[in-house]
Amino acid sequence: MHTCTTDIQALSTLNRRFIHNFVTNDVVAHDAILHPGFRAIYSAGNHIDRRSYLQQWATGFDPDVITYWDMRDQRIDVYGGVALVGATNKWVRVRAGVETLGMTCYTDTYVRAGDTWLCILAQLTPVALDNYPPDSTIIVKYLRGVLQPISE
């Protein structure tokens, strides 16, 4: 039997891996943590199946466009064999020389599969400026796709 602390640690590690897989466009590593029935719901409300999601994953992060990316304000709740893993990503995108800053909150739903957890649903929501979590909650950050140390 798993303890809640062990599950929280495992899910926190998976969350970091999820973000790293995105920043590095690592489809193989990402595929390994997805449930066969996985789907995503994007900020615009569109539903994406697993195959389409992984195709987009291969080129989803371009360090010349996404010059800053972090993951902050992580929240993990375990309910038996189901877990909700959420956080907020701050990002800076540069297109046609114009820099845009924003934040997107996500909740990933994981299900227990034997001794591991697999993500079955990812849902994204834009964050209004008044709800931006503070920099003090940053877990990981990347500049132009390179993992940066977090200063204490």
Which CATH number fits the domain that encloses residue 88? 3.10.450.50
CB 56 within 8 A of CB 31: no
Share of the chain above pLDDT 90, in %: 94
Summarised one tens digit per residue, pLDDT across range 76-110 is 999 999 999 999 999 999 999 999 999 999 999 99
The pLDDT value given to residue 151: 75
Task: Note down the domain range covering 88.
Answer: 4-148
Give how many domains the chain has, as a whole number: 1
Statement: the pTM of the whole predicted model exceeds 0.85: yes
